[in-house]
Amino acid sequence: MQRIGVLTSGGDAPGMNATLRAVVKAGTYHNLEVLGIEAGYIGLLEKRYRKLEILDVEEIVSYGGTIIKTGRTKEFQSETGFKKALANIKNLELDGLVVIGGNGSMKGAQKLVDAGVKVIGVPGTIDNDITGTDYAIGFDTACNIVTETVDRILDTATSLVGDTPRVFVIEVMGRHSGEIAMNSTLAGSVDGLLIPELEIDYDEVADNLKRKFEIGKNYGIILMAEGVGKVDDISRELEMRLGYKIRETLLGHQQRGGRPTFFDRVLASKLGAEAVNQLVKGENAKMVGVRNNVVEAVDLEVVNSEQKSFNDKNYELTKMICY
């Protein structure tokens, strides 16, 4: 093995740069040349790449985003596009590829494996919705941003007193996954949670708030994942039940930016280095992840065939914290 490629694909996640640093450092340690493929699978289609050396990555551990860019492309799925990508991989003489990204990226990795390319995946998505790892890179940073937002809203919620309770609804990311919303609820002063994995029970959320108002609380904070609907629609439903005007916050892409946390940097560093170790050992078609605090490699087929199971226990505990 002499030359490997690395790409970041799909939604960027804080910690992707830390992962790149680890891949390049581990690659150099193993005497490998590392090519950074630009803009995810787009870079494979368009043969956009640059050589990454120690000095290119020495300082990026603390940077958000990804220095080699990321991307989403439909062309990679088409027969002609895919053939082009394969020809470029051959032309670049890549002996292996590290793919950093979320669920869509792992599916792309599997497609390459099926066509004979040696690939190791690394889970990088703020959504934390990938099977085979307890945590994906970027999730912790995103949750910290949400937690800080909840703290800030709490400051104003607890300070301004009016004739009626003040209720705030905050929409956070997660089209198909409530992981960010649920875990941030545990970390902050939150009174209600709405996530796409479960049917919405507006009455339950409203009743919980009313009970709190009865015992003297004069504000409420609700967290909702984007997958449950639009923040205005959700707010209207709650307003109808509560009779109070609701204040809305749509957090958006702030959750994807900024410096990665300590946790994400450590996770990224371990997984990036292990991905290279796996390739050097001759492994293929795996994704590296962390389970019960142990770095492990799991079959990409398993990652791609199973939806990450919903953590019922976590939800049960979260509901008690909202109570």
Any idea which residues carry the catalytic annotation?
127
Nearer to ligand F6P, 12 or 237 (CB): 12
* Environment class of 253 (CB within 10 Å of its CB; exposed 0-12, middle 13-18, buried 19+): exposed
> Residue 95: which of 274, 271, 281 has the closest Cα?
281
| C-beta separation of 242 from 209 below 8 A | yes
Nearer to ligand F6P, 173 or 195 (CB): 173
Nearer to ligand F6P, 51 or 175 (CB): 175
3-state SS assignment for residue 225: strand
Radius of gyration of the chain (CA): 22
Q: What is the distance between the terminal CA atoms of the chain, rounded to a whole angstrom?
A: 56
Residues 6+ apart with CB under 8 A from 290: 133, 134, 135, 267, 270, 271, 296
**Sign of the four-CA dihedral 226, 227, 229, 234:** negative
Work out how close the CB of 127 gets to ligand F6P at its nearest, in angstroms, rounded to a whole number.
Answer: 5
Helix, strand, coil shares of the chain, percent, nearest 5, are 50, 20, 35
Work out how close the CB of 174 gets to ligand F6P at its nearest, in angstroms, rounded to a whole number.
Answer: 5
| Residue written as token pair 């919705």 | 129
Nearer to ligand F6P, 171 or 191 (CB): 171
> Quick one: three-class SS letters along 121-159?
EEEECCCCCCCCCCCCECHHHHHHHHHHHHHHHHHHHHH
Work out how close the CB of 60 gets to ligand F6P at its nearest, in angstroms, rounded to a whole number.
Answer: 21
Interface with ligand F6P (CB under 6 A): 11, 102, 125-127, 173-175, 226, 256
Nearer to ligand F6P, 226 or 274 (CB): 226
Work out how close the CB of 308 gets to ligand F6P at its nearest, in angstroms, rounded to a whole number.
Answer: 13
- Taking the C-alpha atoms of residue 35 and residue 40, their distance in angstroms, rounded to an integer, is 12
Work out how close the CB of 175 gets to ligand F6P at its nearest, in angstroms, rounded to a whole number.
Answer: 4
**How far, in whole angstroms, is CA 80 from its chain's centroid?**
30
Nearer to ligand F6P, 152 or 175 (CB): 175
- Taking the C-alpha atoms of residue 239 and residue 52, their distance in angstroms, rounded to an integer, is 54
